[in-house]
Copies of this chain bind each other. A is one copy, B any other.
């Protein structure tokens, strides 16, 4: 199981080592907001919470710097990466650019097998979206939505674009989590996904990228209106 490779860590977070398990646990806690933006990450305290030694935890934190979820500062330890509206806007714009380019390339290169995978991914996502009201189906939808977006660009030959996109997707997911408690999604995401799916299957690159851009920007706009909570990266 290749890890920390450009290919992407889209697979199961099966941890073969304590460093990896601490890495995954910390990443989840940051993305899901249990560790507040800007919060200080004291090794002495956290090593108890995650049940590992100090050195092991430090290594896990170093790994999280790759994802830009943690920042370190000379002799002053680690902190959760701060958040800001500007940052989220930047993430959104950059994601639109890269994801549209990746989608174009993927549609140009994708063969029948790819189409098959896409159909499966869309079907699984649709099923999850039907029962999205249930509280239990939340994590399920999250996972399948991620896979759907990954499969959409899977046929893009550029490993680097996909690598950067996986980072940005993770970042965007963090912002969504930080705001999901306040504002439930009022849009009909399924309709957007369906339109995107149809345009891709019809190999209409213009239409597909336009929908994709709108789709990404909507997740930004639906959140834009809740500033105070995450302005300047609360120094918790």
Question: Which among B87, B161, B164 is the interface contact of A159 at CB below 8 angstroms?
Answer: B87
A residues 4-18 in Cβ contact with B at 8 Å: 4-6, 16-17
Is A103 part of the contact surface with B, judged by Cβ < 8 Å? no
Is A35 part of the contact surface with B, judged by Cβ < 8 Å? no
A214 neighbours in B (Cβ, 8 Å): none
Pairwise interchain contact B16-A90, C-beta atoms closer than 8 A = no
Question: Which among B63, B157, B160, B161 is the interface contact of A62 at CB below 8 angstroms?
Answer: B63
User: What is the total number of residues of chain A having a CB less than 8 Å from a CB of chain B?
Assistant: 37
Pairwise interchain contact B90-A101, C-beta atoms closer than 8 A = no
Pairwise interchain contact A97-B101, C-beta atoms closer than 8 A = yes
Pairwise interchain contact B63-A65, C-beta atoms closer than 8 A = yes
**Which of A25-33, A66-74, A147-155, A202-210 faces chain B?**
A66-74
Pairwise interchain contact B93-A158, C-beta atoms closer than 8 A = yes
Question: Which among B55, B63, B68, B71 is the interface contact of A55 at CB below 8 angstroms?
Answer: B55
Shortest A142–chain B CB gap in Å is 23
A68 neighbours in B (Cβ, 8 Å): 6, 163
